[in-house]
A and B are shown apart, each in its own frame.
Chain A
């Protein structure tokens, strides 16, 4: 814990309570948001172009699904609109992850290389908090919204019995999915701290997380095991969508996903601490 011991003579009762701590971190986070908005608005064209890029890649995924379903009726038991819902959900989860975490994780190796990490470590706040949440990618919220529209449209075609409970479970599991994305990416960035360039990490990330939007039924054997229990990317979207369309054969899968998310978070924290222990500043 990065709590600085109080100076001598500091009255015990003034020790910050949990509520004060939370308020303080919220204040910091609001300041970070304000910075990000300013930054994005400085490069307006670029901001808009990135939204277009993301939108184009999303459209491309949908085209792929459309082309496949020109030639077949089902992938395993997954029908066309189910897969579109899957791709939409996957995109939505990914965009929200991107909005909060992606650039920050990708920038970690740059921070190490340039020695700017020293500056962050010196701040009287939790270093992981600062490293993970420094920048907000506002354009991603726009794309998450577009993905949401596609999801609703697909659900409309599926004729589902939507209950508030199911939507709530779905949302909670999606949040777990974001947590898995974040933990894996953070772990990836923390492990490769001093070897691989930022581009390499992002490249690895795109390859790994592509799996999240594919129906899990397509995979078997070792491959499925590895990407369910070791790098649980196959759980990220499939489990929540299965809950929504009543395709979940065993409720245990939902529990598994929550547990895997927690496990990933713990592991990424461990990886981060090991990396920090081996950190030697580049600047001095």
Chain B
């Protein structure tokens, strides 16, 4: 005999006997799902990504040519800040790669817009952690972006006829991969923490651009940080910026080895920890004043 329909409804509403935390496997599966979603939505923007990569090749070429001219003006096989001509050119190419794999492109704007427009409401109602959710979207975005960037960048290297430096030591590759992952995390947490400002102010882009300016020069986008005067170089490890680009590139090029490598990795881990804590703290504080605009 079937129970009356109302009865089933009530039974369904009754909470299950044991309200345990979902198992670890379920948690992982949930975020894998988000990752898959991220792939799909980012693939929709592949042409936008391609345009971005192609446009960014223009300043890259310009910088490479600028350095070639500078080296051509030197008398002998001279070093600039400890870099030979080919090392300098390699620096910019590797930096372009690291940037493609780790840089935050639109995540910060999207997070800020989510908060401002009240789009996080429906996510708050779901059993997902917003930080982890966003991290998955960021990771999938990076993979798609790097995939799209691979062909133009490889073509660029081929056409320009530059020799690409490839480390032979397996250990270097390992440390580089580790540092690359930490760089991506650092970039993401810093952007996330900055985007949290959207809880307090209406317009976050100015703040993002101010930090971005410091990142641009102090992380080694424009030139290898070895070119800076000694006093400034001493100061840099006290900021997170070198670990956002310069550090993994210098590992790859074999410029950072031995104890400097270990010290750098420890500091990088520390900065990842600090930025993660700041992102998390800002999120909790922000939620407390969140007004859920657009309800």
Contacts and interface: CB of A to CB of B under 8 A. Distances in A.
A204 B73 contact: no
B254 interface: no
A218 B228 CA distance: 22
B148 to A, nearest CB: 14
A49 interface: yes
Contact of B65 (A71, A72, A200, A218): A218
B73 A76 contact: yes
Interface stretch (A60-68, A98-106, A115-123, A174-182): A60-68
Interface stretch (B56-64, B96-104, B125-133, B257-265): B56-64
B25 interface: no
B48 A67 contact: no
B223 interface: yes
A114 B55 CA distance: 26
Contacts of A68: 70, 223, 227
A223 B214 CA distance: 29
Contacts of A131: none
B59 A207 contact: yes
A72 B80 contact: yes
Contacts of A70: 227, 229
B205 to A, nearest CB: 9
Given A43-B203, A46-B203, A52 B229 contact: no
A112 interface: no
A218 B73 contact: no
Interface string B219-238: 00011000111000000000
Given A74-B73, A75-B73, A211-B62, A63 B217 contact: yes
Size band of the A side of the interface? 35 or more
A46 B52 CA distance: 28
B193 to A, nearest CB: 18
A220 interface: yes
A64 B209 CA distance: 18
Contact of B70 (A50, A72, A199, A207): A72
Contacts, number: 88
A210 B216 CA distance: 14
Scoring A49, A50, A52, A210 by chain B CB atoms within 10 A of each residue's CB, the highest score goes to A49
Contacts of A214: 62, 66
Contacts of A52: 206, 210
A200 B52 CA distance: 7
B55 A71 contact: no
A68 B206 CA distance: 28
B105 to A, nearest CB: 9
A60 B227 contact: no
A252 B229 CA distance: 42
Nearest to A74: B73
B152 interface: no
A251 B65 CA distance: 26
Contacts of B223: 64, 67-68
A67 B213 contact: no
Contact of B213 (A53, A72, A73, A220): A53
A76 B69 contact: yes
B58 A208 contact: yes
A199 to B, nearest CB: 8
A217 interface: yes
Given A211-B58, A220-B65, A72 B73 contact: yes
Given A70-B227, A75-B73, A217-B69, A200 B48 contact: yes
Interface in B49-88: 51-52, 55-56, 58-59, 61-62, 65-66, 68-70, 73-74, 80-81
A54 to B, nearest CB: 9
Contacts of B52: 200, 203
A210 B62 contact: yes
A196 B73 CA distance: 42
Given A75-B69, A75-B73, A207 B58 contact: yes
6 tightest A-B CB contacts, nearest first: A49-B206, A218-B69, A207-B55, A218-B66, A56-B213, A71-B80
12 contacts: A46-B203, A49-B207, A63-B217, A72-B74, A75-B70, A199-B109, A204-B55, A207-B59, A211-B58, A211-B59, A218-B68, A219-B62
Given A56-B214, A71-B227, A211-B59, 17 more contacts: A53-B206, A60-B213, A60-B217, A64-B222, A72-B73, A75-B66, A75-B69, A75-B70, A200-B51, A203-B55, A210-B58, A210-B59, A210-B62, A218-B62, A218-B65, A218-B68, A218-B69
Interface of A: 43, 46, 49-50, 52-53, 56-57, 60, 63-64, 67-68, 70-76, 196-197, 199-200, 203-204, 207-208, 210-211, 214, 217-220, 223
